[in-house]
Structure 1
């Protein structure tokens, strides 16, 4: 009886984790490397899932053990720390970006898909398409971690094609959400400007490279302003709501979801994020981002004066380079 209950709880948890229209049997065949009939015997309850199979399912779909045994606590949640391996930073960073892109791709085509971010730094969905800006963010992280000794100067860091492709996939997946909400800290540009100044002053970034970064920053800012002005991504025509916060953020908070699948993210260690599929955490993320709108001004389509002032201020910060 206990085994039957545990088996049913596992199946129910798995169904919650996969998008509508997805065949659970096919998903399990890919995860467990067993045949279709063996999968259906487990789904019918004729054969219980083994501990090793439960572990593989938990790792792949983010199903926590408390969901399976029927215990739920508002004070606990399972997180993926997504740590980078210092020995292969480019390869693991590429895999991480690709993994984020794949998660977002499973949701982005849904007509009710929503992506919300409260950010104290430039959104990855924008800067990852720019060569110098995306390299600089990664370079800063590498320099900060002494375990990474593959580059000494910014000019030495070159992105692999695998990473470039992963970044493109990530950017596309972000813009394919039906509705996107951005809340930007007013310091999103000045933080990066200060970082560039520092590395220039210690002679790890050349004046020529600073000019390239400056050029890309201007292009990126023009893109952000266009999106805010028309209230949508130009290519996909998907809706974008942009808010400017009147208070500072401690971190970057993100939430992505549909009716059947959601994920919460908190930015850590400059280029990384901890992620969770836990329902309580995702609700908390969604509510927190929503609450920040109370301290923010909507500049998408409306709020023309505030929008012009904000972007003019950001351009003044860039001129300091």
Structure 2
């Protein structure tokens, strides 16, 4: 971990924190985190790819971790994160890159691949496949207590999270998202109360790990993270052409834990196992990890590292 360097890059009016490891002349891999994560979620993968001869780059998004909080967090969009990623790579003089995204970082990775196909050597996502525009509407069939619907409601999550310090919020969400069940609260229950305070952390996530996350979310707060992703799902990306015309042609890999609660989102398993996803990502391979939860990169780092390295080696530029 001491080998990882931490720098700040001025991007689109903000100073963004970027963690890097590996030679500047090596093929580059950019890691895009999800929620409730920051660059640190990729610690195992960054070291593995650097040891294999690649350059690992893991930014904190605007409003996350050590990066600046935008002046108006409530106006942040997915496209801002995509443009920030492009600007970071341009600042580092990287013209071609492997893009790896976890959770909603998968959406950032895929939108980046749509906007900048000439820059993408390959794309790997963990936990979330490519979703065509409008897929978020499937959320509406879930109950009112579905965590995404609750967090989309202005003020609801802020009041819920505000009862606890940042470290406790991250602890509860990590435990909740490690389950195979979709987090859904009853009518008079808040999302944070779905997790009993005595519930232990997953065995692969230590108190020291939690302390890193807690410190960084204490700094950033949750205003930007609640905006992107949860309150930005309806954002219109790019031109409004027929979604079936949007194709990611780059080599692609989806790593999915078989116990990931995202599998239970309406239509997701059928979308993946029927092959419909390949209408949009024709060069996609899918690998399922038995017992894998939503955080496979931390739960099974060795397996995930090997899958990533095999993909990078096969598609090396």
**TM-score band, normalised by the shorter chain?**
0.3 to 0.5
Give the structure-1-normalised TM-score: 0.35
Give the structure-2-normalised TM-score: 0.35
